[in-house]
Amino acid sequence: MSRARVAVLISGAGSNMKALIEASRDPAFPAEIVCVVSNRPEAAGLALAESLGVEALAIDHRPFARDREAHERAIDAALRARGIEWVALAGYMRLLTPFLVEAWAGRMLNIHPSLLPEYPGLDTHQRVLDAGCDWHGCTVHQVIHEMDAGPIVGQARVPVLAGDDAAALAVRVQAAEHRLYPLCLAAAVEGRTEPIRLEAA
């Protein structure tokens, strides 16, 4: 079986990246994590990727401060040089320009910590608590020009429990993210379009 060649783009800890790498260790998983790219050379996820045996590249955005697209062209060139077929954004904290979105249209996923279309943007856990919601969760979606939007590949629902603060809720949502993202990456590369729905404890 030929497996889809995937790059994971990160900016931070890389816990979702780790979940994807670990899932891809199963030869039956339809995708292989070929490399990890961070715009922040100090991102802890880079060392984590290396420790898991995956090539880790830092492509710092700061030298490109005046030209966001040039930074993305450098990333795109690195991906193409490695024969990458799919891109998984996993805590990649840069807004994308139309260049990268169009270059990978239909082959780029993102994970967001809310049940989209509810709560796009930052600080989702606190906003969900402030609104008094009973449910929260996470979404894997195809990347389009609009931020935190695009066709939904899958969602996991997580209960909001009495006494939760944002940190406690974040831990519960992240555990769901780590289950959801590998399932969604597998579905996407296999061309399955029925959205995945998980309910987490």
Annotated catalytic residue 136: no
Q: Could you tell me the smallest distance in angstroms from the CB atom of residue 2 to ligand GRF?
A: 27
- Cβ atoms 85, 107 nearer than 8 A: yes
Q: Could you tell me the smallest distance in angstroms from the CB atom of residue 41 to ligand GRF?
A: 15
Q: Could you tell me the smallest distance in angstroms from the CB atom of residue 122 to ligand GRF?
A: 10
Per-position x/- string for 122-161, each x denoting binding to ligand GRF as judged by CB under 6 A, each - no binding: ----------------x-----------------------
Please report whether residue 182 would count as binding ligand GRF according to CB under 6 A.
Answer: no
Amino acid at 21: I
Bridge partners of 158? 136
**CA-CA distances (angstroms) from residue 85 to 31, 34, 62, 107?**
10, 10, 26, 7
Phi-psi group of 146: left, alpha or beta (phi > 0 → left; psi -120 to 50 → alpha; rest → beta): beta
Please report whether residue 30 would count as binding ligand GRF according to CB under 6 A.
Answer: no
Catalytic residue among 112, 136, 141, 178: 112
Cβ neighbours of residue 178 closer than 8 Å, sequence gap 6 or more = 15, 16, 18, 19
Nearest to 142 by CA among 191, 94, 178, 179: 191
Selected from 177, 185, 188, 189, the binder of ligand GRF by CB under 6 A is 177
Selected from 6, 8, 9, 15, the binder of ligand GRF by CB under 6 A is 15
> Which residues of the shown chain bind ligand GRF in the complex (CB under 6 A)?
10, 12-17, 45, 90-91, 111-113, 138, 174, 177
Q: Catalytic amino acids?
A: 112
